[in-house]
A = this chain, B = another copy of it.
Amino acid sequence: MRGIRTDLAAEARDLWRESAGETSALPGVEARQDTENGFPVETIRILDERGEQALGKPRGTYVTLELEPLLRREAGAFRRGAGVVAARLRALLGLGEGEGVLVAGLGNRAMTPDVLGPMTLEHMLATRHLVSALPETFGGLRPVSLLETGVLGTTGLESSELIRAVVQRLRPKAVVAIDALASRRLDRVCRTLQLSDTGIAPGSGVGNSRPELSRSSLGVPVVAVGIPTVVDAATLAADLTARSGLGERPPEDFASASEGLMVTPREIDARMRELSRLLGYGLNLALQEGLTLEDITALMG
C-alpha cells in the first residue's frame, strides 16, 4: 500500500495480511504470541528472502512488547516491564561475561517525539571508565559506554559515521541503538516497544532519514530498541482513506497540507519521560546482570 510508512515488523505483517487476505500463509515468516510478566509479547522471525520481501524488512528477530499494563498504571508494572525488556534484550545480545557494549542514543533533542534516544541515555549507567580504573571494586560490572549521536543537521556528522568511528576505537562486542520510530497506526503510538537483532535500516526513524546501522556496516552485532512516537500525517490520511474504502490516495490538497506534520499524543512530553525511563532501566538490567532496580537507582545518584 502506497504512502504507508512503518518501522514495526508487526505492522508490516498486518499490512501484508490486509492486501493478501487474512487467511493467506505468510511465507518465510514465523510468529508467536506470549504473555510475560503480564505484558503481551509478540516474536516475529523473518527467516529468508521471501519473508524479507513480504515485510520489507531484513531477516532477523523482532520482539514487540505492548505497554498497556504500564499505561493503565497497574501495580508493579514498571518493574515487570523493565524485567521483560531486560530478558528479551539479553537473549538478542547473547553476550559473554564482561564483554563491553556501546549504547548509542539516536535522535534530535530539540524535537520532542525524537528525544527517546538521548533521554534514555540519561537513565543509563556508564561503567567502562569505572571497570578499567578500579577493576577490584567494579570488576563485576560489564563495561558500558554511552554515546549521544546528535543529528546530521546540527553536527555535520552522520550518526552512523560517529558510531563507526567509536566502534573502531573501543571495539565493543555489541552495539545497542535506541531510536524513536514511526508507526502506521494511532493506537500503537507510545504504546509499543520493539527490539530487534537486525540493527537499523536506512530511512527509518522519526527524522527524514537514518543511516544503516548493522552488523555488516559496523562489524559487530547491533540490537535496535525503539518505540513509535508519531504517525506521519500523510500515513494517517492514506490509512484512513484506504479503510474508508475510498481507494488508495487521500484528497490532493490534504496530501500537500499534511507535509511536515505528524500525529502524536497530547501528552508526548510526559510519555517521553516515562518511556525513556522504562527503556533505560530495562537496558541497565540487561547489561548488568548482577544489579537490581534498587541498585541502579542508588548508582544513578
Name A's B-contacting residues (CB within 8 A): 73, 110-112, 121, 126-130, 143-148, 150, 152-158, 161-162, 164-166, 168-170, 185-187, 189, 206, 230, 233, 236-237, 240-241, 243-244, 246, 250-251, 254, 257-258, 260-270, 298, 301
Q: Which 9 A-B pairs have the closest CB atoms?
A: A126-B156, A128-B156, A165-B169, A145-B156, A186-B257, A187-B257, A165-B165, A145-B157, A146-B155
Contacts of A269 in B (CB 8 A): 110-112
B243 touching A244, Cβ below 8 Å: no
Question: Does the CB pair B265–A298 fall under 8 Å?
Answer: no
Q: A155 and B168 in contact (CB under 8 A), knowing A187-B257, A189-B261, A240-B251?
A: no
Known pairs A111-B267, A240-B250; A129 contacts B144 (CB<8 A): no
Q: How far is the CA of A263 from the CA of B267 in the complex (A)?
A: 12
Name the one of B170, B237, B298 contacting A240, with C-beta atoms under 8 angstroms. Answer: B237
Query: How many Å lie between the Cα of A129 and that of B298 in the bound state?
Result: 35
Q: In the assembled complex, which residues on chain B have CB atoms less than 8 Å from the CB atom of A257? A: 185-187
Contact present for B129 and A152 (CB under 8 Å): yes
**Closest chain B residue to A262 by CB distance?**
B266
| A121, B151: Cα distance in complex, Å | 13
Candidates B130, B147, B260; contact of A266 at CB < 8 Å:
B260
Q: Which of B154, B185, B243, B258 contacts A186 (CB 8 A)?
A: B258
This chain: copies in complex: 4
Say whether B243 contacts A246, CB under 8 Å. no
In the bound complex, residues from chain B placing their C-beta under 8 Å from that of A236 are 233, 236, 263
Q: A147-B162, A260-B265, A262-B266 are in contact. List 4 more A-B contacts (CB 8 A).
A: A128-B157, A144-B156, A145-B156, A244-B246
A112 to chain B, nearest CB (A): 5
Set of chain B residues within 8 Å of A233, measured between Cβ atoms: 186, 236, 263
Point out the residues of chain B lying under 8 angstroms from A162, CB to CB: 147, 166
Q: How far is the CB of A153 from chain B (nearest CB, A)?
A: 7
B residues in contact with A155, CB < 8 Å: 126, 145-147
User: Contacts A241-B244, A269-B111 hold; do A129 and B158 have CB atoms under 8 A apart?
Assistant: yes
Closest B-chain residue to A109, C-beta based?
A: B269
B-chain residues with CB within 8 Å of residue A166 when the two chains form the complex: 157, 162, 165
Distance in angstroms between the alpha carbons of A246 and B233 in the assembled complex: 19
Cα distance A169–B169 in the bound complex, in angstroms: 10
User: Nearest B residue to A186 by beta-carbon distance?
Assistant: B257
A156 to B155, CA, bound (A): 21
Across the interface, which residues of B come within 8 angstroms of A154, CB to CB?
121, 126, 146
Q: List the B residue with the shortest CB-CB distance to A244.
A: B246
